[in-house]
Chain A
Amino acid sequence: MTHPRPHLDTSPKVSDEVRKTTCYMCACRCGINVHLKDGKVAYIEGNRDHPVNKGVLCAKGSAGIMQVNAPSRLRAPLKRTGPRGSGQFAEISWDEALELATSWLRPLRETAPEKLAFFTGRDQSQSFTGLWAQQFGTPNFAAHGGFCSVNMAAAGIYTMGGAFWEFGQPDWDHTKLFILFGVAEDHDSNPIKMGLGKIKARGARVIGVNPIRTGYNAVADDWVGITPGTDGLLILSLVHELLRAGKIDLDYLARYTNAPVLLDTDTGLFLRDADGKPLVIDRNTGLPAAFDQKSIHPDLGAIHTVDGKTHRPVFHTLAERYLDPQYAPEAVAERCGLSPNKIKRLAAEIARVAFDEAISLPIAWTDFRGERHSHMTGRPVAFHAMRGISAHANGFQTARALHMLQILLGTVETPGGFRFKPPYPKPAEAHPRPHFKTTPGQPLDGPHLGYPQGPADLCLDDNGQPARIDKAFTWDNPLSAHGLMHMVISNAHAGDPYKIDTLFLYMANMAWNSSMNTAGVMQMLTDTDASGDYVIPHIIYSDAYSSEMTAYADLILPDTTYLERHDCISLLDRPISEADAAADAIRWPVITPDRDVRGFQSVLIDLAHRLKFPAFTNADGGAKYQDYADYIVTHERKPGIGPLAGWRGDGSQTGRGAPNPEQLQRYIDNGGFFVSHIPETASYYKPWNMAYQDWAVGMGLMDQPTPYLFQLYVEPLRQFQRAAEGHGAHQPPEHLRPQIRERLDPLPIWYASADSDCAEYPVHALTQRPMAMYHSWGSQNAWLRQIHGHNPLYIPTKLWQQHGFQDGDWARVTSPHSSITVPVAHMAALNENTVWTWNAIGKRKGAWALKPDAPEATKGFLLNHLIAELLPPKGDGLRWSNSDPITGQAAWFDLRVRIERTAPPTEAHPSFPPLTSPVGTGPKDPK
């Protein structure tokens, strides 16, 4: 049967208008084209011109339309009417809401600013929210880095002035061997996928080190299915093999690292000249010289004898440590769950590519000692790592070990290796140190967060007690550069180190998937004291959506969705630069809210004015900024330097220049972003390349050239160790001396991370975030939840058979803290002692406008219930926190469990009473 073919319009109109802004469906910050029809969002695609995603877009980004239309969107300010945690609220006006907030906050600012704890979760405006908190005067501010990946960031900053992701990227154009450690399916999202596609297209090899073989690790040419928490041991074994074989870049180490810096044999601190500059021996003269002196050639091997004392370079200590047989593949393989031969082959492959396939680009450059080089030489092995290695109690030292491996190979900031993205590289000394000094009615004495250089920089009061509610920058975790958001609620509840009055949170689901000990946290948020008052008297929460956390607020300040707001992705904050360019971007309201909601940052500006913060108030008492958009354009951090680098002054200036009232329009006209390219001669060797240093000064990234050495040996760690050995005025409490002596080693070490009883809890349990979802915000999405609406616990073959599991079975999973009952599924491509599930799929009934019978609320579950913020008692009378002893990073992935087959219950356990939804339940039809 032949039929007439229908007429088909192959050129239909696509949309009325395209507006270009920045995605916020995860933290990747891609450029998006938002197609509008009749003023409504019709379709979202990637922006081809954008430096981050170059046109592509992930599932989350394309599903943004379902986020913008989500029934869980909050509609108006809410004041709690029922008991805390019930979800019962009444709508109030913004005036009433802001007056109420002000009535709680003003007396605190005037009498005891520390009684406000302001923590901002997945904030992308920390330079602004941090300023707000400084102006309030509370020392209690941070974002979510403490429970995310501060180990990665801090280890990178202290070692080499930057880490992975927004600090830098693999050299996708030149690398020949790309090795991922502990990278789940995000962080960062599209650039990694684009890079993998790019390097695979030209035949480069990818190796994935991860207990779980999904996502990036599934497409890796080789999979190293390591036992969780042992990455550092593997890395130090690779270092052992490479050192032993002499497969290290001695020239690079001598020129660009502190390997040749002399250590004082008495103190383990650097020998320094009169100006405080670390000393090396110059091979030209054989004499000590400041590391940055012109024309010197630092000697990696030379020793220096003064007054009968022999001072040796860092490199001697390093070589002696890692050549020790304790790091031989045979000695570590079993603990890593690998064979010795596999470790050796991995080391050999790294050595082969680094040294047999070295590349050289004909780009001339001049280094900071004045030496001219005709080429840029690279050893094309690139690494990337994320939370898989850092969310352990040994994560800081493990991340340090990985950076040391890269540096020994000479692959950092060289062609084919790892490349920094402006404003990085930026060493620890160039960052602020933490500030905590409060004065009632006055701003804090400086920025909250920073990089301590020694015990004098800790946030301790005159009695040696923690100044911050999260106990960041204390002897428990001295280098907690991102704060410890995960300890705020439990510390505030315990009144340890002191009681607070108001807990003010933004965009962090702390009553659910962002907390350890979830049930305990819910209890802490609702506990009352002897007089019947809540132990935490006031809770203010801002989010765009009705989450599990909103139910625990007394006052809800409803945020807009990401398409209804102004934002800036700033070089002062977490920018979107590429290795070849500085870049920043904005969000702007491409649609108008149909609800009585306001962008959170504009609300903070309103509150700042009501509270008369100096930096937000004009001399005449009027508001300095009308809203966040006005702040983005007119705020100056230093004269001529503001949140956005593009089109400053008269529109022709970049980086430095007066505020330009047309700036936002220029960003909109350019597709929502700004890019300034780095000159080719400045493209690699950035920490030591004078062309880069000069370019960065011109951009306003620094005020003068500040070349520095990579810190294989981190002297601030040695400063803390010395304190623990009894030196200096600042002394740790006795019970922490051994921990500081052992863990804050200035050279990378490995120690067993989880100390749960292995026999009783023999199985490692992990989570990872699916590529198609971002936390609980993504898992409510009508399209995305059809992809990942279920999260079984994946069980490896050995355990599956050992327990006699069958399809459709359930398991009881028990940790030292608690137990859960959950559905299971078999997975073969998995470390044989590891189980895992997707993160943040499980939902509490009543949250997110989902129906009570939604699979996320009946079969979905969280591992969070199994993880406590404190380790089980060790019998020493103390309770130790479940975190890294150096940075305080939450050790999510140290979880150990036992599993047993159990009769299927009707629902996953534990289950909690349904919340009353302040926004009702979503419709059957999403549109």
Chain B
Amino acid sequence: MTTLPPKTAKKLGLVIDLDTCVGCHACVISCKGWNTENYGAPLSDQDAYGTPSGTFLNRVHSYEVQPPEAAPAQLVHFPKSCLHCDDAPCVTVCPTGASYKRAEDGIVLVNETACIGCGLCAWACPYGAREMDAAAKVMKKCTLCVDRIYNENLPEEDRQPACVRTCPAGARHFGDLGDPDSAVSQLAAARGGFDLMPELGTAPVNKYLPPRPKDQLDHPQTAEQIDILAPYLAPVANSPKGFLGWLDKTLERL
């Protein structure tokens, strides 16, 4: 068993906007690229040109949602990586202390030299956010790019996780969710940011922003809706001849 810090000075994490994520996988590959070259063992691939499988710290899943009313089905893209939980079961289950949560910023990491590859943490994580690297036989997980965010060899504007830097739609935001005044906390508050599976008591730091309500054109209260919009389509004339008459009158006023 490994202990968690009673409190962390910061709660660094991600705010991921499900209203904006187009499911392009840019974050997935940028993460793969950075973390293959950096923190710990490379993210390996097996049978890369046959039936491939490999280690990824961040994956995008897509789910179809059928609203209860007679509205069209929706497709939600759902990027998922470690949520850096305050009460991280993956840490407390670790028999060697390899899994730990940093007191200074709340990042959950694996000390690979102490990792025995037992896989308990992956079983304990309810989000499936950890992957055992099949080549290195150590547990891999999102580091929140701990080797970028403080990296003095990078320009200051690049000191953010690779996934955030690369996200074309701007759907990923990085910051201190322990500070209610931070941009990410404000964004989460304004947009109803939610915890993933809060009932599990893991107290995830990362927040998801829900998709905005969709398909107003299909709203079931058809009559009411079209009444609001109807003035915009009120005919100026009912025949081409009438239209040309309207045109003449209107042009005189221009």
* B100 CB, nearest partner CB in chain A, Å: 6
B167 at the interface (CB under 8 A from A): yes
Contact B217 A243, beta carbon cutoff 8 Å? no
Give the distance in Å from the alpha carbon of A201 to the alpha carbon of B170 in the complex: 9
Known: A62-B33, A225-B72, A319-B243. A241 touches B111 (CB 8 A): no
A910 at the interface (CB under 8 A from B): no
Contact A925 B166, beta carbon cutoff 8 Å? no
A 12-28 contacts with B by CB, 8 A: 12-14
Give the distance in Å from the alpha carbon of A342 to the alpha carbon of B113 in the complex: 61
A532 at the interface (CB under 8 A from B): no
A691 at the interface (CB under 8 A from B): no
A591 at the interface (CB under 8 A from B): no
Chain B contacts of A53 at CB under 8 A? 168
Chain B contacts of A6 at CB under 8 A? 111, 113-114
Contact B168 A45, beta carbon cutoff 8 Å? no
Known: A197-B171, A219-B21, A225-B72. A10 touches B151 (CB 8 A): yes
B233 at the interface (CB under 8 A from A): yes
Contact A221 B216, beta carbon cutoff 8 Å? yes
A828 at the interface (CB under 8 A from B): yes
B30 at the interface (CB under 8 A from A): yes
With beta carbons under 8 angstroms apart, the residue of A59, A196, A216, A323 that contacts B26 is: A59
Contact B24 A771, beta carbon cutoff 8 Å? yes
Contact A63 B21, beta carbon cutoff 8 Å? no
B 12-38 contacts with A by CB, 8 A: 19-26, 28-30, 32-34, 37-38
For B157, B234, B238, which residue has the most chain A Cβ atoms within 10 angstroms?
Answer: B234
Contact A58 B24, beta carbon cutoff 8 Å? yes
Return the CB mask of B231-251 against A: 1 if under 8 Å, else 0. 011111111100110111011
Chain B contacts of A351 at CB under 8 A? 232-233
With beta carbons under 8 angstroms apart, the residue of B19, B37, B217 that contacts A345 is: B217
With beta carbons under 8 angstroms apart, the residue of B47, B215, B226 that contacts A924 is: B47
Contact B212 A221, beta carbon cutoff 8 Å? yes
Give the distance in Å from the alpha carbon of A853 to the alpha carbon of B153 in the complex: 44
Chain B contacts of A763 at CB under 8 A? none
Contact B26 A56, beta carbon cutoff 8 Å? yes
How many chain B residues have a CB neighbour from A under 8 Å?
95
With beta carbons under 8 angstroms apart, the residue of A247, A345, A771, A926 that contacts B225 is: A345
Which of chain A's residues has its CB closest to B231's CB?
Answer: A348
A 807-837 contacts with B by CB, 8 A: 827-830
* B102 CB, nearest partner CB in chain A, Å: 7
Known: A245-B232, A316-B244. A200 touches B20 (CB 8 A): yes
Contact A213 B233, beta carbon cutoff 8 Å? no
Contact B146 A221, beta carbon cutoff 8 Å? no
Known: A194-B170, A771-B22. A851 touches B49 (CB 8 A): yes
Return the CB mask of B30-55 against A: 1 if under 8 Å, else 0. 10111001100010111111111110
Contact B37 A42, beta carbon cutoff 8 Å? yes
Chain B contacts of A246 at CB under 8 A? 236, 246, 250
Contact B151 A215, beta carbon cutoff 8 Å? no
How many chain A residues have a CB neighbour from B under 8 Å?
112
Known: A5-B100, A194-B169, A218-B22. A854 touches B247 (CB 8 A): no
A-B contact count, CB below 8 Å? 293
A855 at the interface (CB under 8 A from B): yes
A677 at the interface (CB under 8 A from B): no
A349 at the interface (CB under 8 A from B): yes
Which of chain B's residues has its CB closest to A196's CB?
Answer: B169
Contact A925 B214, beta carbon cutoff 8 Å? no
Chain A contacts of B32 at CB under 8 A? 62-63, 783
Contact A219 B166, beta carbon cutoff 8 Å? no
Known: A222-B216, A300-B251. A59 touches B151 (CB 8 A): no
A782 at the interface (CB under 8 A from B): yes
Give the distance in Å from the alpha carbon of A283 to the alpha carbon of B250 in the complex: 13
Give the distance in Å from the alpha carbon of A193 to the alpha carbon of B172 in the complex: 13
Give the distance in Å from the alpha carbon of A829 to the alpha carbon of B73 in the complex: 5
B 155-169 contacts with A by CB, 8 A: 157, 162, 165-169
With beta carbons under 8 angstroms apart, the residue of A71, A214, A355 that contacts B49 is: A71
Which of chain B's residues has its CB closest to A789's CB?
Answer: B52
Give the distance in Å from the alpha carbon of A883 to the alpha carbon of B26 in the complex: 35
B120 at the interface (CB under 8 A from A): no
Chain A interface: which of B74-82, B124-132, B176-184, B195-203? B74-82
Chain B contacts of A241 at CB under 8 A? 233
Contact A785 B52, beta carbon cutoff 8 Å? yes
Return the CB mask of A831-871 against B: 1 if under 8 Å, else 0. 00000000000000000011101110000000000000000
Which of chain A's residues has its CB closest to B75's CB?
Answer: A218
Contact B50 A46, beta carbon cutoff 8 Å? no
Give the distance in Å from the alpha carbon of A828 to the alpha carbon of B72 in the complex: 8
Give the distance in Å from the alpha carbon of A221 to the alpha carbon of B213 in the complex: 7
B8 at the interface (CB under 8 A from A): no
A745 at the interface (CB under 8 A from B): no
* B182 CB, nearest partner CB in chain A, Å: 17
Known: A218-B22, A771-B25. A348 touches B243 (CB 8 A): no
Return the CB mask of B203-228 against A: 1 if under 8 Å, else 0. 00000000110111110001001100
A 208-229 contacts with B by CB, 8 A: 213-216, 218-225
B136 at the interface (CB under 8 A from A): no
Closest 8 CB pairs of A and B: A922-B49, A3-B97, A348-B229, A828-B73, A197-B170, A193-B168, A246-B236, A851-B50
Given contacts A43-B37, A772-B29, A828-B73, 19 further A-B contacts (CB under 8 A): A1-B97, A14-B151, A56-B165, A58-B24, A58-B166, A59-B30, A60-B29, A214-B75, A218-B76, A219-B19, A241-B233, A244-B236, A323-B240, A323-B243, A348-B232, A785-B52, A829-B73, A854-B51, A924-B47
